Amino acid sequence: MLSVLERSQKLRLLGKNFLLRCSPKCSCAPRIFQAAHSRCPTSGALKMHPAFLPEKFYVARNMRAQSEKILPQESLNSLPLKRAYQSCLAFASSHYENFPVASLLLPRALRLPVAAIYAFARCADDSADEGEKSPEERLSELNIMESRLYAIENGENFTEPFWMALAHTIRHHSLPLEPFLNLLKAFKQDVLKNRYATFQELLDYCCYSANPIGTLLLKLVGQDLPQNREWSDSICTALQLINFIQDVGVDSQLRNRIYIPLDEIQAFGVSEAQFHEHREDASMKALMQFQGERARAFLLKGQPLAKRLPGRLGLELRCTICGGKRILKVLSERGRSVFQRPKLKGLDWVRILFSGIVLSRLI
């Protein structure tokens, strides 16, 4: 069966006649109209046939209907659940990111589950990275998180705020476990693997470490379509690559990880020792500039999704894309060390918001 969008596009191409009423309450008899716009003979109202309504109209309508199913008000009458989501929001706001995460740009009904998903990803990432734990301890913590995901699937209840909110988000919106499990797979890989021979290996990693977040967001708003997924994967991969670039100093020196393909390091005449010792030269700068240009290309490839998604979610996504571009611009500034992690300031965020608003007209 054709979807509403597919049906409307087919009707546009065929140029069919339509039987229309001005409105359900109008007394006019159904009439055949050839054009997209017709005037009711009784009320004089101008009527557009649904087949000719902009595609974005249907996307917005479907997203509104979907958001009403995300967190109905009655589900938040439970005080423990309300506090659980509040703790996830507080956790998300306490971690600095160079991209908006569960920000006020999102509707509250969407901001709460997004905060729960972010809290899961951040906690898993911290288990793989933070502290002085052994690899065995890190893997054990990640395995416990994996077992709890399966417990959610089996209907088990939790008293811990974070897991209570996540379980509610997954069950209420029937989110699949696969994206969450893929995230854990990436974090386990962080514990066991610290070099990537080729860019394809790095892309495979991004399929587990970044792309699942975009998939979950699309599922939350009922927009998990093949084309949307392709654009989303490009954006998420780009943001992950930008994180690799901006954290290259911390990753190499503190965690002995290099997320720059080894074959490209060799091709640019750079040694691994330069990463550990933070030694810069023309070859190192050229290598990192190449990484930045490639990340920007991925951002641009996924940019149409920011116009496809309407309303505040579309604005947040445009601001995320503009934030990624801003980071790349700061990283490429003359005289700046490639090992210095940038931190966006107040004026940067104003520029990002303005650029996000303007971007909708430019895509």
Domain extent listing, the chain: 4-53, 57-362
Helix (H, G, I), strand (E, B) or coil at 47: strand
pLDDT at 89: 86
What is residue 36's predicted lDDT score, i.e. its pLDDT?
A: 45
Cα 288 to Cα 244, 271, 273, 328, distances in angstroms? 10, 13, 15, 10
| pLDDT computed for residue 40 by the predictor | 52
Please give the chain's pLDDT, 363 residues, in tens: 445 445 444 444 444 344 444 444 455 544 444 444 455 555 555 444 444 444 444 444 444 444 444 444 445 567 889 899 989 888 887 765 655 566 666 777 788 899 999 999 999 999 998 888 999 999 999 999 999 999 999 999 999 999 999 999 999 999 999 999 999 999 999 999 999 999 999 999 999 999 999 999 999 989 999 999 999 999 999 999 999 999 999 999 888 999 999 999 999 999 999 999 999 999 999 999 999 999 999 999 999 998 888 777 788 888 889 889 989 988 888 668 888 888 777 777 677 777 777 665 544
State in Å, rounded, how far the first CA of the chain is from the last one: 31
- Nearest in space to 18 (alpha carbons), one of 1, 27, 6, 30: 30
Q: Which residues pair with 284 in a beta bridge?
A: none
pLDDT at res. 170: 96
C-alpha pair distances (Å), 210 with each of 48, 115, 203, 281: 41, 16, 10, 31
Beta strand spans in the chain (E): 18-20, 31-33, 37-39, 46-48
Are the C-beta atoms of residues 249 and 339 closer than 8 Å to each other?
yes
Q: How far apart are CA 342 and CA 261, in angstroms?
A: 22
**Distance in angstroms (rounded) separating the CA atoms of residues 45 and 21:** 10
Q: Which two tokens stand for residue 73?
A: 């008000």
- Degrees to nearest 5, angle at CA 254 with 253 and 259: 65
Neighbours of 154 (CB within 10 A): 7
* CA 99, chain centre distance (Å): 10
Nearest in space to 210 (alpha carbons), one of 316, 289, 295: 295
Q: What's the longest Cα–Cα distance across the chain? A: 81
**pTM for this model (two decimals):** 0.76
CATH architecture of 57-362: Orthogonal Bundle (1.10)
pLDDT value for 349: 67
